[in-house]
Amino acid sequence: MWEFSIMLQAEHSNVAKFLYNNLKKYVEEVGGVITSFDQAELIHIVIACGEEEKTRLYYYVKSFITEAICSYFKNEFLRKNLKVQLKNRISISAFEKALQYFDKETDRYLVEKYLSLDKNLYLESFFEFKLKILKNKWLELTKIANENSSYLLTEDTFIELLKFLVDNLEISFDTVNIISDADGYQVLDENFKDIDVLKEKGDGIWLVENIIALSPRKINIYTDSSSDELNLINCIYSNRTNILPKQSAKIVDKRFL
């Protein structure tokens, strides 16, 4: 029997939820057990499976822990250390999200290099003491941004930098369809079906952050009006974006009619 525990501070309950929800499927597939509980101001995620399934489950546990650090912990780090002042919250969120995903392949490599599942893992301690090289890499990134923050107040300069960042992200989705209405946005796949991680409608910040995270090859925007978030997406993805009348969308959800 292989047993493994991940412990996190209560302030990272969102990370614990991400890990538990994503690992549950794979643990159950191999006939294992996963549970989560609070004890002594820590969140514990405990996993157990037969020794013969250890190698398979080891891969998924390591992959999702790596993703949690490269997404949640990096986002938290950027928000703490970035001192860039931009014109609105949408621009700030777009910049933070683009930096979060920038050079993610190297980030993942560094986490996986130092991550061992041979004994139980205190996630914050691992991040603080074993990943100093990664933290220094992120610190250098924020230092460059902060030192050049005055240039980013110019709209053209900011857009060019943001275009550079998103153009260097790996394409991870083919086509997305953005549908807008007075209540927000929905992001659908090329067949106007739900995307698993984006089944609910969201606001402008939600839209920009998720388009950057998806890094699609093609973006169709169905709208009858302009907005700061749609204009920003159209600018930074100028070679990938089509703006189309809303009535031409093959909308299944009646909320958008």
Q: Are residues 190 and 93 in the same domain?
A: no
Q: Are residues 134 and 180 in the same domain?
A: no
Q: Are residues 18 and 109 in the same domain?
A: yes
Q: What is the pLDDT of residues 131-147, one digit of tens each?
A: 999 999 999 999 999 99
Q: What's the number of domains the chain is made of?
A: 2
Query: How high is the pLDDT of residue 236?
Result: 96
Q: Are residues 9 and 135 in the same domain?
A: yes
Residue at 166 is within a domain: no
Quick one: average pLDDT of 11-22? 97
Q: Are residues 87 and 19 in the same domain?
A: yes
Backbone angles phi, psi at 87, to 5 degrees: -70, -25
How many Å is the Cα radius of gyration of the chain? 20
Distance CA 240, CA 216 (A): 8
Instruction: Kindly list the distances between the CA atom of residue 43 and the CA atoms of 4, 6, 22, 122, in Å, as whole numbers in the listed order.
Output: 14, 8, 16, 10
Residue at 160 is within a domain: no
Q: Are residues 22 and 122 in the same domain?
A: yes
Q: How confident is the model at residue 11 (pLDDT cuts 50, 70, 90)?
A: very high
Q: What is the pLDDT of residues 78-128, one digit of tens each?
A: 999 999 988 789 999 999 999 999 999 999 999 999 999 989 999 999 999
Answer with the one of 121, 139, 157 that is the final residue of a domain: 139
Quick one: average pLDDT of 6-19? 97
Residue at 165 is within a domain: no
Is the pLDDT reported for residue 199 higher than 80?
no
Residue at 90 is within a domain: yes
User: 9 is in which domain, residue-wise?
Assistant: 2-139
Quick one: average pLDDT of 20-40? 96
Residue 149 token pair: 């923050």
Q: Are residues 183 and 132 in the same domain?
A: no
What is the crossing angle of helices 155-167 and 89-101, to 10°? Answer: 30
Q: How confident is the model at residue 235 (pLDDT cuts 50, 70, 90)?
A: very high
Residue 103 token pair: 């050079």
Is the pLDDT reported for residue 162 higher than 90?
yes
Q: Are residues 186 and 119 in the same domain?
A: no
Residue at 211 is within a domain: yes
Quick one: average pLDDT of 213-217? 96
Residue at 178 is within a domain: yes
* Count of positions (residues) in the chain: 257
Backbone angles phi, psi at 31, to 5 degrees: 75, 20
Query: How high is the pLDDT of residue 209?
Result: 96
DSSP alpha helix (H) spans, 10-128: 13-29, 54-68, 74-81, 89-101, 104-114, 123-125
Q: Are residues 130 and 203 in the same domain?
A: no
Q: Are residues 108 and 180 in the same domain?
A: no
Q: Which amino acid is at 115?
A: L
